[in-house]
Amino acid sequence: MKRYPFRKPLLSVALVAGLATSTFGIPSSSFAASQVETSVLTKEDQKIVQSVNVNNIYSHISRLSSQPRVAGTPAEYNAVQYIQQKFSSYGYNVQIQPFTFEAYVPPTTLSLDIKDDNTKYTPQALTYTGNGQATGELQYVGLGTENDVKDLDLTGKIALIERGNISFAEKVLNAAKKGAEAVIIYNNEDGELNGTLGGANDAYVPALSLPKDVGEKLAKKLQDGETLNAEVAVEGSKLETRTSHNVIATKKASNQKKDTGEIVFVGAHHDSVEGAPGANDDASGVAVTLELARVMAKAKTDTELRFVTFGAEENGLIGSTKYVDSLGQNDIFRTRAMFQLDMVGSKDAGDLVMNTVSGQPNTVTDIAGDASERLNGERTPYGQGDRSDHVPFAEVGIPSALFIHEPTEPWYHTPDDTIDKISKEKLQDVAEIVGAGVYDIAKIDRVTPNVKKPKPMKNVSKEVQDVK
């Protein structure tokens, strides 16, 4: 993160904004003329910068990341209650929206054995794998494309497939269609392959993954003409109906006469993946959302603000999809912008970016881009990215963007996503940019409503991590 030296001391802006310097208790004579000329913060920016307390953000993360918050578990509900209580304590009207979803439960038994081979294999299950036991000859099937399998009969065989080009689901289905009893996909990059088939499907056979080196060794033997007989067992994976919750804190326009009728959303997700404390993913986004709600609680605004934390994001953007489905057409038309905060505090990640589903700039990237320029002297870049709760909003035509640091940290979705990897500086920066952007829209500056009817976007595909 780069800070322009001119921004400090921040209070030089008071002169530009025409505020009484006594408000800040600093005499105007303490500022050099050059500082006055180069400072660009508005009085709303000032309020955000002065009010955001990064220690509050840090303490929310610390509390939330004391344990993983898997959707539908008591730990997630505990986070929901914490968030609800904080919003309420700031004076918000808070709603809890429960919803059910089908959670994937991983297999209890998972094994791969190869006859006459002393190697101990520790495969992973692809999420949504089929269950079953299979014994058969291992057959190398390249990338497992339709073309790769078209002349093969895989009846009674176990297909060995390399990762790449097409989704894991397509590979599994292609092989299963040709009779394969089970599928093993090996990585095309170093490390474990933690993949998902994207959703349940009765046509799936047992589907396992192996690291690159292990898979390549097997593929080489097969290509050299060796015969390998394998035994695969996957048992106990299932879908289970669970209940998760969204938390919605609402602040109506503070002055009814000046109400533009518009709504601005700030969102994050409070669930985490199994085994991951999710300090950055996404306690960081929830914590910044809470702090911005606190900062904005008493602000004079002509726009309705909704601070929302979603459940079951990690299961496929389920909470945000349910929430958007529950919005009436009127609320959708009234919504001017959605700021999604997901993974906004890692020391070990790259710089802040704003990702839109289309990759094109929109109201959110324009407004937050302007705010970042005023705050930091350079515009936060925008790019393309889905993978978070801004997607369902974008799909109904709401200008939305995901705030995230890229490249992401190595601890993503691991037990090491913990509070010690969190940077207060990064949190502060994101809170200021998003806070200043939201306040820029919401400050009282218009008497006439300016509600534009957004056009729904078509053909937005939901990308799921590691489906390819």
Selection from ligand BES, Zn ion, none that 464 binds (CB < 5 to 8 A by kind) is ligand BES
H or E segment and range at residue 383? strand 382-384
Per CB under 6 A, contacts with ligand BES among 273-292 are 281-282
Other CB atoms within 10 A of residue 441 CB: 21
Q: Which residues of 305-319 are buried (b: 16+ CB within 10 A; e: fewer)?
A: bbbbbbbbbbbbbbb
Does position 357 interact with ligand BES (CB under 6 A)? The reply is no
Q: How far apart are CA 215 and CA 109, in angstroms?
A: 21
CB of 364 to ligand BES, least distance (A): 16
User: For ligand BES, which stretch binds (CB under 6 A), given 88-96, 127-135, 438-446, 459-467?
Assistant: 459-467
Q: Which residues of 198-212 are buried (b: 16+ CB within 10 A; e: fewer)?
A: beeeeebbbbbbbbb
User: For ligand BES, which stretch binds (CB under 6 A), given 84-92, 246-254, 311-319, 415-423?
Assistant: 311-319
Question: For ligand BES, which is the closer residue by CB, 179 or 383?
Answer: 383
Please identify which residue in the block is written with the tokens 């709401």: 398
Q: Any bridge partners for residue 161, and if so which?
A: 185
CB of 368 to ligand BES, least distance (A): 17
Does position 404 interact with ligand BES (CB under 6 A)? The reply is yes
From edge to edge, which strands make up the β-sheet containing 400-406? Answer: 93-105, 238-251, 304-310, 263-269, 335-341, 400-406, 351-356, 382-384
Does position 388 interact with ligand BES (CB under 6 A)? The reply is yes
Question: For Zn ion, which is the closer residue by CB, 282 or 304?
Answer: 282
CB of 401 to ligand BES, least distance (A): 12
Number of residues that bind ligand BES (CB under 6 A): 17
Other CB atoms within 10 A of residue 280 CB: 33
Please identify which residue in the block is written with the tokens 């904005």: 296
Question: For Zn ion, which is the closer residue by CB, 103 or 234?
Answer: 103
Q: How far apart are CA 346 and CA 277, in angstroms?
A: 13
CB of 82 to ligand BES, least distance (A): 19
Q: How far apart are CA 402 and CA 55, in angstroms?
A: 23
Question: For ligand BES, which is the closer residue by CB, 227 or 384?
Answer: 384
Question: For ligand BES, which is the closer residue by CB, 201 or 227?
Answer: 201
Q: How far apart are CA 173 and CA 332, in angstroms?
A: 38
Q: How far apart are CA 193 and CA 164, in angstroms?
A: 12
Question: For ligand BES, which is the closer residue by CB, 102 or 216?
Answer: 102
Selection from Zn ion, ligand BES, none that 387 binds (CB < 5 to 8 A by kind) is ligand BES
CB of 355 to ligand BES, least distance (A): 8
**Binding positions for Zn ion, rule: CB under 5 A:** 281-282, 342
Selection from ligand BES, Zn ion, none that 317 binds (CB < 5 to 8 A by kind) is ligand BES
CB of 318 to ligand BES, least distance (A): 9
CB of 163 to Zn ion, least distance (A): 23
Does position 316 interact with ligand BES (CB under 6 A)? The reply is yes
CB of 106 to ligand BES, least distance (A): 15
Question: For ligand BES, which is the closer residue by CB, 11 or 287?
Answer: 287
Does position 342 interact with ligand BES (CB under 6 A)? The reply is yes
3-state DSSP assignment of residue 234: strand
Residues 6+ apart with CB under 8 A from 440: 42, 44, 367, 370, 371
CB of 343 to Zn ion, least distance (A): 6
> Measured at CB, which residue is nearest to ligand BES?
465
From residue 123, alpha-carbon distances to 26, 185, 212, 468 in Å are 64, 10, 11, 17
Q: How far apart are CA 249 and CA 243, in angstroms?
A: 20
Q: Which residues of 155-189 are buried (b: 16+ CB within 10 A; e: fewer)?
A: eebbbbbbbeebbbbbbbbbbbebbbbbbbbbbee
Question: For ligand BES, which is the closer residue by CB, 304 or 313?
Answer: 313
- Show the binding pattern over residues 101-140: x = contacts ligand BES (CB under 6 A), - = does not: ----------------------------------------
Q: How far apart are CA 1 and CA 425, in angstroms?
A: 8
Selection from Zn ion, ligand BES, none that 172 binds (CB < 5 to 8 A by kind) is none
Q: Strand 263-269 vs strand 182-186: parallel, antiparallel, or unpaired? A: unpaired
> Which residues would be at the binding site for ligand BES (CB under 6 A)?
281-282, 313-314, 316-317, 342-343, 385, 387-388, 404, 408, 412, 462, 464-465
